[in-house]
Every structure is written in structure tokens, then in C-alpha cells.
Amino acid sequence: MLAAATMIMGGCNGNTNNQRHQTMSSISEETVGRTVQAIMDKYPQADSALVQKGIAQAAALWKEEDGTEAEFGQFAVESYAATPEERKVLFDKLSSALETFYGTSNQVAVKMQSPLHLTGPEPTEIDYILGAFDPYSHLSDDLFANKAAFITIINFPFYTLEEKDSLGKDWTRLEWAYARMGDVFTTRVPASVKAEYSRVLSASENYISSYNIMMGHLLTDDGRRLFPEDMVLLSHWNLRDELKSNYADIPDANEKQEMIFQVMLRIVDQSIPKEVVNNPDYDWAPYSNRTWKDGKEVQAHPETDIRYSHILNTFHVEEQIDVYSPQLPTGIARNFEEGMEVSAADIEELFVRLVSSDEVKAVAGIIRERLGRELRPYDIWYDGFKNRSTMPEDRLTEMTRKKYPDAQAFADDMPRMLRALGFPAKDARYIADRIVVEPARGSGHAWGAQGRWEPARLRTRIGDKGMDYKGYNIAVHEFGHNVEQTLDLYDIDYYMLNGVPNTAYTEALAFIFQKRDLQLLGFDHAIDDNTTLDIFWGAYEIMGVALTDMYTWQWMYAHPKATASELRDAVNGIAKDVWNKYYAPVLGSPDCPLLAVYSHMVNSPMYLPNYPFGHIIEYQLENHLAGVKNRKEFASEIRRIYTLGRLTPQIWMQKAVGSGVSVDPLLEAVGRIVRK
């Protein structure tokens, strides 16, 4: 939600020729020309192209209530920082102000949403209302009203993605920081629209965070219970991870997988009875879809389209934002070209290249041989390439519950975990001291700081008996996020460069940590062929999910008046189409809609492409890190790479590992493995 709010505040429009922005602006082209000339006359040494860019962009956002054309011209000339020294002073003051605004707003959001995110008393109506409050909603309006935004635009104009990728190769760190300052004020989305966006996202998050399946109340059609009575699994994360855990040699493993698969299908098509969600009062047979209460069969009611109503609500707010983003006039364009800084077409091309590759069929053959059976749709989550797949999960859970009875125990162990990865003791303590661990109501997440005085937050689910292995594995993943969030905020040279190019890059480090979860428990760990195959198969799985999400948003823009029921049918159809094209030839079961089960489709609009993009980056980073000599050098490289800051994706990767983002290294590595 925080990232989304920031994304809305800073759009991606630097073109003043767009008709919509011309109608919003009260400044003529003639006034722009006269103003540019006045600045050049006063400061002949100024960069005329840069002056033109800044004045044109400021004029495109200047409204009648901001002043007359004459007042615009006078303001622009007076606000121009003429010398490098003046520009640097202005930049430093703006950076400090933005860190204060973002950091304090982040603290408000953390506090207001704590009752919704953390364990404790059940949230009340006022908690949901306050949790939906967006402290960012009026910030942009206020800074335009007091002209701070216009001063920023005039002196630090916006560069397009194409310009950043071409010019940025030769920019200094300060020039990059100036360019990122230019990303802050590029649209004027009304505060009311931002507040509505926050409310809609909060409602979706609340729906997802309480979407628990009572596994002990699931029945086979012959009345058997396969899962422990007290097992409660959040959809989709915990359901998926429980399915993965049943690749180990344990009783009823495959039958449990089949039942979870059936539950997922019911969620996707919304035939799941709404009474059984997060409710232990009912027994449910997901195959026959029959329900019982107090031992008597009762008639339940399907969810029908609740899931898809939340998606549609988000879409309609994006439509409102579209009006104020003429150069990136859809949520799709803003998500990819602005948020990810990679075009949707380029992302799709990367994903299709991998999911349609011959290497997929070859790896599927290895999995089929290991399982000794024909593959099923849920084998997209095959977990046998991980070392832990041979260890019963109950043994691992016994270890993690003993080691981490509560959130504080995990927090206390973070310095040791970092030392185990090669960080010097001083650095390990420095990083761990800037991370707070809290018990999550949902599956958990990492919430980064925005000001260099507040901590990053690791939210993780911890049961009454302590942290089970699934929770530990997720917590280590979130720990990787927190390490990134700490290094590239506290150790960055310019605040405006804090962060990573997009969320795929933080997912990459989270994956790197997660794959070392057993190492952090004291087991041997090595990046070998199995690790490569695991990354590849994980990328194959999530790319289909991401494509389903992307095509869903394309469908909504093509059918803006669709109902939630129509969207439900469309999403199921899209998931089936993607499955039939890239998955049924490998896993069978034509017309399977499983790819639409991920909860991100509901509460994190268009976030899913970041995961497979992250897998691609993860492999390139793992391949690079495999060349280090020891753990100390491993940690040193992590620190170097994750203090590069928010460059564009391709330039960041070039500086990190010496080559751009590509699936080719992963495909080539898998090809070598399967040919052995």
C-alpha cells in the first residue's frame, strides 16, 4: 500500500504536448518560450535543453488557481537555481524535506494499520476505517499549492525511461539522484482519488488477510480427515506451502495434495461456500462441496464473486487515476513503465521465452521420474529440488518452534544469522538493530522504513506453540527484504537513490535468503544443480501466474463496464488459456484454472510479475555470488550490490553482475544440467 501510494503521488508524465494536460494547464506555449528565453538571458551559462524541459513540465501542471501566466513566468525565473552550487543546496533541502514527509507518513500508516496486520484483539469497525486512512493523500496537493512541487520540477525535470536507460549509463551518482528527484512530481492526482485508492486496497487486504481455510474441518467424500484438527492455512500462501511439504515421505501425502488442489479450484471459481472461510463451525467436503454444522448437513452459499469484486474495485480507481496520467494512461502502463521501469511487452517476452522453452519439458521429465507418476497441475509447486524436501517437516517444525517460541526470539537471533552468512559481527548488529520483528495476523510481510530514524519491520505468523517451519521459511524470506530495505536506505549516498529499481530486486535478495534457511538452522548448504533447477521451476510456475494477472488487467481495460461475475468468468477463462498453451502440454489437465489462485491478484494489483522477474535476477545474482571465495566475500558483495540504489533495472544489473537482465543464462544453465 505504501509503494502504491508513493507511485500515485509521482507519475511519469514529462510531455507537455498531450491534449489532456494542455486542457488542465493554463500556460500557453508562447509563455513557456518566453520564460525559457528569460532564464537564458539572465543565466547564459544555463543548459538550455534542461531549462526547456523543466519549464515545459512545470507549465503542464500549472492551473489557473496557481496564478496567471505572467505570475508563472516571474515565479519560474525567480525559482531557477542558476549555478551547480545553488542547485545542490536546493537538492539537499528538498531531499531532507521529502525524507521527513515520507518517513513520518510511513510511521502514521504503520501505526494505523497495526491492528489489522498484527496479532491481538479482533479489529473493530474503527480499526478498519483508520487502517484505510492514507497519510499521503494530501501531500502532493499541499506541495503543489505552496509551490514547492513547481520549484522541484523547474530545477529537476523528469526523464523518461528511455532517456534514463540511454543517458544514465554516463551519469554520476549525483546526476542519478537529480533524475530521481525529477520523478517525484509529475502528475496532480486529487487527494480524494488517492484516499479512495487507499480505502479499496485496505478492503482487499483485509479480505485476503482473513481468508483462512480450517484444514482440520476438511473431509474426504468418505468422511475422513487428512489434516490436524488445529491446522489453519491462509490462502494462497499457506495452502501452497502445505502442498509443497507433502512431497516428503509422509502419510497420505499425495491425497493431501489432491485435496488442497481441489480447495484452490473452489476458491478460483468461487464455488467455495462462504461459510467455511475463516470459520471452524463447519465441516466441508471440497470434492462434493457439501457442508455440515454440528454434525448435520446444511445448505451453504457459494462466495460467487466476492473475490473478483475486490479486483474490480481496484480497477475502477485506476480508471480515475488514468485521467491524470495522459502519457501513461492505464494502470498497466504505470505499473510497468513507471513502477517496474520495464515495459509490459518486454516482461511478457521474457516470460514467454522461458515458459515455452524446451528446457521446461526436460525438467518436467526429471520431476516425473523422481515422483514415479504422471504429473498433476499442482506439480508446478514441486519442491523436490530443495534439500529440505527429504526431511519430514514435523522434524524441522520441532526445531523452529523450540528455537523461536515468539517474535522476539527470532529478532534476537538475527545477528547470528547474518554472521552465518558472512557479515562481520559489527555489520550484523548494525543491520539487526534496524529491524523490528512482529507477530503477523496474516502470512507476514516486510515493511520498509522511509526515514533514516525508523526501523524496517518483519511481520511473521507465529502460532501458540511457536514458529513452525513454514512460518520460519517465510520469515527468512522477509528477513532478506529487511536487509535490502536497511542497506539501501541507511547506507545510501543520496536519499533520492534509496531503494532498488523495482520490487523484483528486493524479491531476488529475499529468495537468496530463503534458499539458505536450512544453512541458518545449521545444515550444510550449497548452490548446485538442484538449486538451479529449483529457481528455474519456480520461475516457470510464477510466470504463468503473472501472465494470468497481466492478461486479466488487459481484459478489464477492454471491458470497463464488466460486472464482478463477468470478471470471474473471464479470469477463469484467461487462466485456462494460459494453462492450455504453456502448462497442459507439460502437466496435463486441459482447462485447469489453477494459475488464478494467487491472492496477490486481489490485494496487490499487478505485483505478480515482480516475482518471476525476481527469479531471473535471483539466478543472475546467485550465479555471480557462486564465484565468491568465502562467506565474508559473499556478504561484502551483497552490501556492494544492494547499495547501488534505485537505478533503472538494466543499468543496476550491469553494475551488479556485468550484464543486463535476461533469461538466457538460466536457460543455458538448465540446458547443461539436463544434458548431463
> Is residue 243 exposed (0-12), middle (13-18) or buried (19+ Cβ within 10 Å)?
buried
pLDDT, greater one: 11 or 616: 616
Cell numbers standing for residue 116? 489489522
DSSP for 181-221, please give it: HTTSSS----HHHHHHHHHHHHHHHHHHHT-EEEGGGB--T
Q: What is the model's pTM?
A: 0.79
Q: Mean of the pLDDT values across residues 614-640? A: 91
Label residue 327 by pLDDT band (50, 70, 90). low
Cell numbers standing for residue 484? 535490502
pLDDT tens-digit map of 428-461 = 999 999 999 999 987 788 999 999 999 999 999 8
pLDDT at res. 195: 86
3-state secondary structure of 234: strand
The pLDDT of residue 16 is above 60 = no
The pLDDT of residue 17 is above 70 = no
Label residue 386 by pLDDT band (50, 70, 90). confident
The pLDDT of residue 76 is above 80 = yes
3-state secondary structure of 439: strand
The pLDDT of residue 71 is above 50 = yes
pLDDT at res. 407: 94
Q: Of 77-81, 130-134, 628-632, where does the model show the most confidence?
A: 77-81
CA dihedral for 647, 650, 651, 657, sign (positive or negative): positive
Q: Mean of the pLDDT values across residues 596-608? A: 95
pLDDT at res. 133: 86
Q: Mean of the pLDDT values across residues 100-117? A: 94
Structural domains in the chain, sorted by start: 2-186 (no CATH), 208-307 (no CATH), 343-384+526-674 (no CATH), 393-514 (3.40.390)
> What does the H/E/C string look like for 254-304?
HHHHHHHHHHHHHHHHCCCEHHHECCCCEEEECCCCEEEECCEEECCCECC
pLDDT at res. 448: 95
Judge whether 436 and 477 are in contact, CB under 8 Å: no
User: How do beta strands 435-439 and 456-460 pair?
Assistant: parallel
Peptide bond into 624 cis (omega under 30): no
The pLDDT of residue 526 is above 70 = no
- What is the phi/psi pair of residue 441, to 5°? -75, -40
> Is residue 34 exposed (0-12), middle (13-18) or buried (19+ Cβ within 10 Å)?
middle
Judge whether 144 and 188 are in contact, CB under 8 Å: yes
Cell numbers standing for residue 350? 521474457
pLDDT at res. 676: 82
Helices (H), 404-500: 407-420, 425-432, 469-490
Quote the Cα angle for 361-365-371, to 5°: 140
Q: Mean of the pLDDT values across residues 249-256? A: 93
Label residue 525 by pLDDT band (50, 70, 90). low
Q: Mean of the pLDDT values across residues 598-613? A: 94
pLDDT at res. 314: 97
Label residue 335 by pLDDT band (50, 70, 90). very high
Cα–Cα distance for residue pair 541/531, rounded to 1 Å: 15
The pLDDT of residue 62 is above 60 = yes
Percent of the chain with pLDDT over 90: 79
Mean pLDDT across the chain, nearest whole number?
92
Match 481496484 to its residue by C-alpha cell: 314
The pLDDT of residue 20 is above 90 = no
The pLDDT of residue 18 is above 50 = no
Label residue 13 by pLDDT band (50, 70, 90). very low
Out of 141-150, 279-288, 500-509, least confident range: 500-509
Which of 366, 657, 651, 352 lies closest to 532, judged by CA?
A: 366
